[in-house]
Amino acid sequence: GLFVWHLKNTGVPRVPCRFVPLCHPGGDRLITFQYFNFLKRMYVTQCNNDLSQRAKPKSDSVASPFRELRQLDQEKMVLHKIRPISPVQQPSSETPSESESREMESAAEAEDSVTPVRAESKDDRQWREMKLQLEDLPGILARLSKIKLTALVVSTASAGFAMAPIPFDLTCFLLASLGTGLASCAANSINQFFEVPFDSNMNRTKNRPLVRGQISPLLAVCFAASCGVPGIALLTLGVNPLTGALGAFNIFLYTCCYTPLKRMSIANTWVGAVVGAIPPVMGWTAATGSLDAGALLLGGILYSWQFPHFNALSWGLREDYSRGGYCMMSVTHPGLCRRVALRHCLALIGLSTMAPVLDITTWTFPIISLPINLYISYLGFRFYRDADRSSSRKLFFCSLWHLPMLLLVMFSCKKSFLEKEDKGDLLSGSHGRAMEIRLP
């Protein structure tokens, strides 16, 4: 059975994937508010899935790009009406050029339009030539690398960078973001490369490029290599070796540990949570060059967040997981699933309190964040007690706005006196030097 969240297709305009860096030290409320809204819109429309294969290549387990989502929803409606036509009769009437041009058209539609559904269901019913169309390549690669999810990963990393107690360095920030983004693309592509037959069988993932034969596995691997190698090199050489090492480790963890483990044991959830926690740590180490307590705390917050988010979502996908052979807590150990979710909601409260202790934020942070942390814990408790679809949905939706809000509050409560102090020293020092030079 298909599990469809009730959230209807909100007619969300296609927001270009720009994320405004959180690092305006002045705390420009307008920009951060826009950023939050942007994220919220993305999150809200992303809810519409029935997946969560916890596809978090490098962090947020907010699974799929919202375009896929809307397509999925509409497609489901369309598929009910259309009977699959037997492939034998279809192609005899087409010449290759016709079908190619139709394919191109439909592919172009699929890439750009808001209602790609009709095109996709057409694709679904027809035989298509397996030739790579260069015009489609950017769209195909974007879907292969789960570009929207990558963008979220990069924004988590930039949150880590922003929270680090150093003066903001734009070059470093851009390099770190780019490197993280490339590494995430690589990890996502390899993940899709490994999972082709499984993706075909799950509703959320059956429209991926490799499943649909739009790209060959060889090309997917080459693309992954051409993103991963420069990405890690950029991080190691352009930022610092620690960040590069973390990036490489995260790619390894996601592709070689999490992906196979999904079908072997429920431990995959914990591994996946670590995968999600590493990007903000990377952002921090990119800024400071060392693995401080602050980095670990940020990582810890994201780690804990993954559990209510994923466990709540996977509660509704039990049928697909069971049929596809995925070992998830929600299927095999439902009690544990809910306990863990609740446990980590409460852990979030504890971690938020640690932030001022470690001098990352002021004491206003745990106070301001207490309401949202308590709310998610309350929903976690309801999920634990009721164990039904509505409580799992509520918890999932809450987790979607909870994280950006928490990070925003954290940033606005950041202890910036350290920066000011440094700047003061710098100024007076350079002033002195300038004076020396002038006097002959």
Partner 1 sequence: PPAHSRSDWIGPPDKLSNLRPIIFYEPPEESPLERQLREARQEAQACNQRFWARQNCAFRQEKEEFIYSRLKAKGLEMRDKTGQKATLNAEEMADFYKDFLSKNFRKHMQYNRDWYKRNFTITFLMGQVALVRALRWLRWKKKNAGN
Nearer CB in complex with partner 1: 259/306: 259
Nearer CB in complex with partner 1: 52/156: 52
**Cα radius of gyration rounded to whole Å, the chain:** 23
Contact by Cβ (8 Å): 259, 271:
no
- Of 353, 387, 415, 416, the one binding partner 1 (CB under 8 A) is 387
Report the C-alpha gap between 319 and 317 in whole angstroms. 6
Question: Which residues are 361's β-sheet partners?
Answer: 414
- Of 10, 101, 113, 201, the one binding partner 1 (CB under 8 A) is 201
Report the C-alpha gap between 147 and 19 in whole angstroms. 13
Which range binds partner 1 by CB under 8 A, 19-27, 228-236, 328-336, 403-411? 328-336
CB 336 → partner 1: shortest distance, Å? Answer: 12
Amino acid at 307: F
CB 135 → partner 1: shortest distance, Å? Answer: 17
CB 324 → partner 1: shortest distance, Å? Answer: 9
- Of 193, 284, 396, 411, the one binding partner 1 (CB under 8 A) is 193
Q: Does 226 bind partner 1 (CB under 8 A)?
A: no
- Of 114, 118, 124, 169, the one binding partner 1 (CB under 8 A) is 124
Contact by Cβ (8 Å): 390, 409:
no
Residues 244-283: x/- map of binding to partner 1 (CB under 8 A)? Answer: ----------------x--xx-------------------
CB 139 → partner 1: shortest distance, Å? Answer: 17
Contact by Cβ (8 Å): 308, 347:
no
CB 262 → partner 1: shortest distance, Å? Answer: 10
Report the C-alpha gap between 232 and 290 in whole angstroms. 17
Residue with tokens 């070059």: 171
Which range binds partner 1 by CB under 8 A, 166-174, 215-223, 370-378, 418-426? 215-223
HSE at residue 295, side-chain half, CA atoms within 13 A, is 20
Q: Does 429 bind partner 1 (CB under 8 A)?
A: no
Nearest to 192 by CA among 243, 250, 254, 273: 254
Nearer CB in complex with partner 1: 200/288: 200
Q: Does 359 bind partner 1 (CB under 8 A)?
A: no
CB 221 → partner 1: shortest distance, Å? Answer: 6
Tell me the torsion sign for CA atoms 136, 138, 142, 148.
negative
Contact by Cβ (8 Å): 289, 283:
no
Nearer CB in complex with partner 1: 3/168: 3
Report the C-alpha gap between 245 and 249 in whole angstroms. 6
- Of 175, 298, 331, 355, the one binding partner 1 (CB under 8 A) is 331
Which range binds partner 1 by CB under 8 A, 36-44, 62-70, 277-285, 329-337? 329-337
- Of 133, 332, 362, 412, the one binding partner 1 (CB under 8 A) is 332
Structure tokens at 354: 């640690």
Amino acid at 231: G
Report the C-alpha gap between 170 and 21 in whole angstroms. 10
Residues 162-191: x/- map of binding to partner 1 (CB under 8 A)? Answer: ------------------------------
Nearer CB in complex with partner 1: 124/359: 124
Contact by Cβ (8 Å): 167, 419:
yes
Q: Does 335 bind partner 1 (CB under 8 A)?
A: no
Contact by Cβ (8 Å): 329, 336:
yes
Q: Does 385 bind partner 1 (CB under 8 A)?
A: no
* SS (HEC) of 48-115: CCCCCCCCCCCCCCCCCCHHHHHHHHHHHHHHHHCCCCCCCCCHHHCCHHHHHHHHHHHHHHHHHCCC
Which residues, 288 to 327, sit near partner 1 by CB under 8 A? 316, 318-319, 321-323, 325, 327
Which residues, 43 to 102, sit near partner 1 by CB under 8 A? 84, 87, 91-92, 94-96
Count of residues touching partner 1 (by CB under 8 A):
46
Tell me the torsion sign for CA atoms 367, 368, 369, 373.
positive
Site residues for partner 1 per CB under 8 A: 84, 87, 91-92, 94-96, 124-131, 193-194, 196-197, 200-201, 206, 211-213, 216-218, 221, 260, 263-264, 316, 318-319, 321-323, 325, 327, 331-332, 334, 387-389
